[in-house]
Structure 1
Amino acid sequence: MDPEHQLLFFFSAIGAFNGLFLSIYFAFFVKHRNRANYFLSALMLVLSIRIIKSVFLFFYPFISELFIHIGLSACALIGPFLYLYVKNTTTRKNYRNRYWLYHIVPTVLVMVIIEYLYPYRQHRGFWNFFGFNFLYTQWIVYVILSGIVIKSAFATLVKKGKKMTDEEIWLISLVAGVAIIWAAYRTTEYTSYIVGALSFSFVFYLILLLWFFKRRKTTPFFFAEQTKYANKKIETGEATEILSRLNILFEQKESYKNPNLKLADVADQLDMPSHHLSQCLNDNLGRGFSAFINEYRVKEAEKMLATDHHLTVEAIGYECGFSSKSTFYSAFKNLKGTTPAKYKKIYT
């Protein structure tokens, strides 16, 4: 490969390989993981696989057919994962079922069946027709659906005097970036097949650069534990449902007895973003997650202090989920106005 082609290979592949690393990071190393981040990880993964397939097929036309089919399947999943990420990031609904499977499983099944019946090497004409009339159509339909989900963000973008939130900037950049990559692939018959891969590298680093200059002094919202929604209050009916499910979870499973229980753990069990649950507690109960969970622990400690005369006060605190004696005493006195030891004496 001559120097010119080596340089072209480098610039067309670098974005894809960095996308793979970013996908792994979002899946396994983000501190506050949630379903939306998993979808973002999956989106970066399928985009990167699609681009890598394009790069190697362009420079090495005789690569494994399996590799080509994997790349084509990844292409079919770009749109669904983009939509699922945008939907999960912005939604206020608490989906209890596996609704996302309806977008992923049928797509995978269709691709597996078609790839089995029409191998790429023997049916290139079919794949050229199928690619332009199904894969790219399905891709752009999901991009449009994602745009509809964040239509309020686009309205803010064109409205003078209204400041956009970090989340709105990020989502618009992501949806627009995926649309640009789609357009680059869709127009390869007028340019070159490698333009699609080059566009991914360009969009990938452009978004990172944009975000760096925009948020260089703060942490991007998807790395943070919470995102504040100052003017997006949760509706009363929805808040009531969330609190009801939370109380049922604590009363039936007694999750509060786990001293290492975190907001993210409970949010995952309720199938909702951590910041959404935190906002619900703060807006409707006027307290954070720690205060809320300590109320359950103190309530359980009251029962045990009054009825269990075999355990020490400290042991009861640990049984109820407190991680230390000092935390137990502080929370109990704050809520009951007395220490656990004095409270226990009343019943002994």
Structure 2
Amino acid sequence: MTISDQLLLMCSAIGGLNGLLLATYFFCHRTDRLTYRLLALLLLMLSVRVLKSVLFYFNPDIGKQILQLGLSACWMIGPVLYCYCQSICRPDASWRGLQWQLTLPFFVVVITGVLWPYHDNPQLWGGLIYRVINYSWLFYIGLTVLLVWRTQQRSGNSLVLTSAKYRPLLLMILSNGLIWSAFYFASYTSYISGALTFSVLLCFSVLTVFYRDKPMPQTTEAYANKKLLPADAGPLISQLEEWMQHRQPYLNADLTMPKLAKQLSWPSSRLSQLLNDNLAQTFPDYVNHWRIQHAKTLMAVEPVMKMQTLAEQSGFNSLSTFYAAFKKFTGITPARYKQSLPDLTSETINPESGTMS
């Protein structure tokens, strides 16, 4: 094997091997076990599919059992991707509800492999079954995109999909689309392109997660320690309030002070001064204030909405955080507030200050 072939083998196999390690890690993850276990299963299926391609590319005489295993894993990628999407987009999703969606295609794969094994039917697997697998995978990618689109439509907020909860899902959908395209159009490029695509995407995803929370360097402003005068602060407060009311950046659970300052084209220090000195609020309290007002509006409009969904659509990253913030600002729990809604229907949000009137 030449040096170029060795490098190609390493680059194409690194994604599959690291995918197996990540699948093990996510399977053992203790929080949100359903979502992480489905993600682990999805990575496992992709890794087996990719490693099969790598082995076949560098050794065309590989055993037919390995080829059948790789294609069988590929057959399950679509159903697992769709179930993973449901575990994120549907708060009421449970393993019992998703189980049949995985069990049915799994039995189809097993029965097909038993009745028509690859070893005795290479032309069938290389023709009809291979096409069924590819188009089934594409069909489930389309179903997943449709479910995400419906989730965004139900939320009525274009920013909901930018939260940390949905970011891995969107990246996984994009990755599946690219990997499917790489394998499907391999006859025009190279069969190993699918494995290389998976390796690149996996490395990119890991680097994105690693650098996501890396703090940005802050520059020292000439006015950093000077309190803004009321005459200067007034227009800035109006601009901030108008931005919060109409753009609703607080619905993004990952909103930070630097991100909000960047949206406003302000230095972070100016926003910090405005909140701490002129509005006498911390950034988390200021943002949560808007989130609670939004939650109140949702409860009035959709009183049957579940608390988990209500918290997510109001910008909170967990139900416990939502309960704590709601009680801090209102003095009562969300459930008690819901019960008192008939007496509070006249309350509205003051567009000038964002407070109840």
What TM bracket, shorter-length normalisation?
0.5 to 0.7
| Contact 2:307-2:319 within 8 A present in 1 as well | no
1:116 to 1:152, Cα distance in 2 relative to 1, 3 A: closer
Give the aligned partner of residue 278 of structure 1. Answer: 320
Tell me the residue number matched to 1:121. Answer: 119
CA distance in 2, matches of 1:54, 1:78: 15
| Displacement of 1:91 | 1.1
Q: Which residue of 2 aligns with 1:81?
A: 80
Find the aligned partners of 1:202 and 1:39 in 2 and give their Cα distance: 22
In the TM superposition, residue 66 of structure 1 has moved relative to its aligned partner by 2.4
Aligned to 1:135: 133
Distance 1:26 1:206 in 2: 18
Measure, in 2, the Cα distance between the counterparts of 1:240 and 1:183.
40
Residue in structure 1 matched with residue 149 of structure 2 by the alignment: 151
Can you list the C-alpha shifts for 1:238-281, whole angstroms capped at 9, x where unaligned? 54899xxxxxxxxxxxxxxxxxxxxxxxxxxxxxxxx7653685
Contact 1:19 1:45 in 2 (8 A): yes
Distance in 2 (alpha carbons) for counterparts of 1:8 and 1:182? 20
- Give distance in 2, aligned partners of 1:31 and 1:4: 42
Q: Which moved more, 1:277-286 or 1:13-22?
A: 277-286
Per the TM alignment, residue 100 of structure 1 is displaced from its structure 2 partner at its CA by 1.6
Which among 164, 180, 183 is matched to residue 182 of structure 1? 180
Q: Which runs of 5+ in 1 are unaligned?
A: 222-227, 243-274, 288-348
Q: What displacement does 1:186 show?
A: 0.7
Change (3 A) 1:90 1:276: farther
Q: Does the CA-based 8 Å contact 1:184-1:199 persist in structure 2?
A: yes
CA drift at 1:45: 0.7
Code of the residue aligned with 1:3 in structure 2: it is I
What is aligned with 1:25? 25
Q: Which amino acid aligns with 1:278?
A: S
Alpha-carbon deviation of 1:46?
0.7
Question: Could you tell which deviates more after superposition, 230-239 or 141-150?
Answer: 230-239
- Alignment length (residue pairs): 244
Residue aligned with 2:97, SS: coil
Cα separation, partners in 2 of 1:122 and 1:36, compared to 1, 3 Å:
same
Give yes or no for the alignment of 1:164 onto 2:162.
yes
Q: Please, which runs of 5 or more residues in structure 2 have no aligned partner?
A: 217-252, 255-287, 310-316, 335-357
Residues 187-202 of structure 1 mapped to structure 2, 5 A cutoff: 187-202=185-200
Q: Shift of residue 179 of structure 1?
A: 0.6
Give 1:99 shift.
2.3
Shift of 1:162: 9.2
1:153/1:113 CA distance change after superposition, 3 Å = closer
Aligned pair in 2 of structure 1 residues 121, 192: CA closer, same or farther (>3 Å)?
farther
Distance 1:124 1:193 in 2: 18
C-alpha separation in 2, matches of 1:63 and 1:87 = 37
Change (3 A) 1:75 1:241: closer
Match of 2:281 in 1: none
1:80/1:104 contact within 8 Å kept? yes
What is the deviation of 1:153? 8.1
Q: Distance in 2 between matches of 1:281 and 1:26?
A: 28
**Residue matched to 1:108:** 106
**Aligned equivalents of 1:70, 1:160: Cα separation in 2:** 41
Q: 1:149 is aligned with what amino acid? A: L
SS at match of 1:210: helix
1:173 positional shift: 1.4
How does the TM-score come out when normalised to structure 1? Answer: 0.61
1:62 to partner: Cα distance:
2.6
Output the CA distance in 2 between the equivalents of 1:161 and 1:113.
Answer: 44
Comparing 276-285 with 59-68, greater Cα deviation is found at 276-285
Counting only pairs closer than 5 Å after superposition, residues 211-230 of structure 1 correspond to structure 2 as 211-217=209-215, 230=291
User: Could you say if the C-alpha distance between residues 215 and 100 of structure 1 is closer, same or farther in structure 2, counting changes exceeding 3 Å?
Assistant: same
Q: 1:128 to 1:217 in 2, by over 3 A?
A: farther
Residue aligning to 1:292: none
Displacement of 1:123 after TM fit?
2.2
Query: After alignment, is 180-189 or 120-129 more displaced?
Result: 120-129
Displacement of 1:111 in angstroms is 1.4
User: What TM-score, normalized by structure 2, do the two folds share?
Assistant: 0.59
Corresponding residue for residue 304 of structure 2: 237
Instruction: Please point out which of 170, 173, 181 is paired with 2:171.
Output: 173
* Cα deviation digits, residues 145-187 of structure 1 (max 9, x gap): 11112226888xxx99999322333322110011100011111
Kept in 1: contact 2:65–2:118 (CA 8 A): no
